[in-house]
Amino acid sequence: MEAWLGLMSGTSMDGIDAVLVSFRDRTVQIHASRCLSYPDDLRQRLINASQNQASPDEIGELNTLTGQLFAQAALRAISDSGLNPNTIRAIGSHGQTIRHQPAGSAPFSFQIGNPAIITETTGITTVGDFRSRDMAAGGQGAPLVPAFHKAFFGSESENRCILNLGGIANITWLPARGQGPVTGFDTGPANALMDAWCLDQTGRPYDADGHWAVEGRVDPELLEDMLSDAYFQRTPPKSTGKEKFNLGWVKTMIARHPDLKPEDIQRTLLELTALTIARQMPETGVDTVYACGGGTRNPELMRALGQALAPARLAVTSELGLDPQWVEPVAFAWLAKQAIEGKPGNLPEVTGANGPRILGAIYPA
């Protein structure tokens, strides 16, 4: 049996998700899974770097420190699993995005977490830097998970959407029987704005279970202002990040609405996430939306989404055999497999690249 290890940390910068898996046909067998949280000071340094507040020295150090932590997450998953490390063909490490700028004349997407350190520490071949080849081919470099969604979650009878609720939300549209093209893009914020506002106002990194948001009420005028941001109107391919949807964005929006209570703003941000996702879904034909990512653990967000998406049904990916928390890291384990086997990892129709490309840089053991 051949195993693959996926390492992922998204825009929320909450910690490193690590999974050790085997693939058989369209099923994923999980041998171990765990999340290694970032220490508070490292998280703060990463947030600063993502806001352009880091010197080259600082970025270099962060590249090493996160590489070491990604390696630790891998070692722990391996030891949890009890598997012989020789059975692990490769590690796929997304790294930590500190800046994603897909537009303009010099587009780039910058992930840190030095893969050489992961290879050296684990003795296992590591694949990193998945996004840059797609970008070099004219693509957004994101989202990359739709190829995995297509390979594992497509259906003969049901029109499906896979919805990832990380810091940013992305959707993958999978028409039944592969009829019609698979599409996918970032819809905008999932948790990023709620997290940023919650941290700023309460000192807590996120609004656990949406308790704070439900103390407030949706303000229709603020909501309308937020919904008019051009990003939500743009046609795909498109991708975004915390360079755009951050505390500064919230503060600009609320400046025109000075009398709102902080919890009203939180509630409105929650509604914004639900509505921007629902409005960017295909207009007809979606049977079920399968959600994954940390946002699935916020029952208030799930409730608002369920309402906004109706008549489409909202479910979680557990129904498809994969725990919502592990879909993204499993996708990077699979992308490593694609790279090692010399197969493409992007969907050009999703990223806008000039064609299918083998993604990633390989650091041999």
Ligand X SMILES: Nc1ncnc2c1ncn2[C@@H]1O[C@H](COP(=O)(O)OP(=O)(O)O)[C@@H](O)[C@H]1O
The helix (run of H) or strand (run of E) holding residue 186 is strand 183-189
Q: Which of 35, 41, 37 is nearest to 61 (CA)?
A: 41
Alpha carbon of residue 346 to chain centroid: 15
The helix (run of H) or strand (run of E) holding residue 289 is strand 288-292
Tokens 């994923």 belong to which residue? Answer: 28
Question: x-or-dash pattern for Mg ion, window 14-53, by CB under 5 A?
Answer: x---------------------------------------
Smaller CB distance to ligand X: residue 7 or 88? 7
- The region of 7-15, 119-127, 209-217, 352-360 touching Mg ion under the rule CB under 5 A is 7-15
Q: Which of 2, 1, 144, 121 is nearest to 73 (CA)?
A: 121
Smaller CB distance to Mg ion: residue 36 or 83? 36
Please report how close the Cβ of residue 8 comes to ligand X at its closest, in angstroms: 7
Compute the chain's Rg from CA coordinates.
20
Q: Taking the alpha carbons of 75, 192, 322, 352 in that order, is the dihedral positive or negative?
A: negative
Please report how close the Cβ of residue 192 comes to ligand X at its closest, in angstroms: 7
Helices in the chain by DSSP H: which ranges?
Answer: 40-50, 56-81, 115-122, 131-136, 146-153, 192-202, 220-227, 230-233, 247-254, 262-279, 299-309, 327-340, 348-351
Please report how close the Cβ of residue 108 comes to Mg ion at its closest, in angstroms: 22
- The region of 12-20, 50-58, 90-98, 353-361 touching Mg ion under the rule CB under 5 A is 12-20
Smaller CB distance to Mg ion: residue 46 or 314? 46
Smaller CB distance to Mg ion: residue 14 or 219? 14
- C-alpha 93/C-alpha 96 separation (Å) is 9
The partner in contact with residue 300, picked from Mg ion, ligand X, none with C-beta cut-offs of 5 to 8 angstroms by kind, is none
Smaller CB distance to ligand X: residue 11 or 126? 11
Smaller CB distance to ligand X: residue 295 or 352? 295
The partner in contact with residue 297, picked from ligand X, Mg ion, none with C-beta cut-offs of 5 to 8 angstroms by kind, is ligand X
Strands 88-101 and 313-316: unpaired
The site for ligand X (CB under 6 A) is made up of: 9-12, 14, 166-167, 191, 195, 206-210, 293-295, 297-298, 328
Please report how close the Cβ of residue 209 comes to ligand X at its closest, in angstroms: 5
The partner in contact with residue 271, picked from ligand X, Mg ion, none with C-beta cut-offs of 5 to 8 angstroms by kind, is none
Please report how close the Cβ of residue 332 comes to Mg ion at its closest, in angstroms: 12
CB atoms within 10 A of CB 25: 5
Residue numbers at the binding site for Mg ion (CB under 5 A)? 10, 12, 14
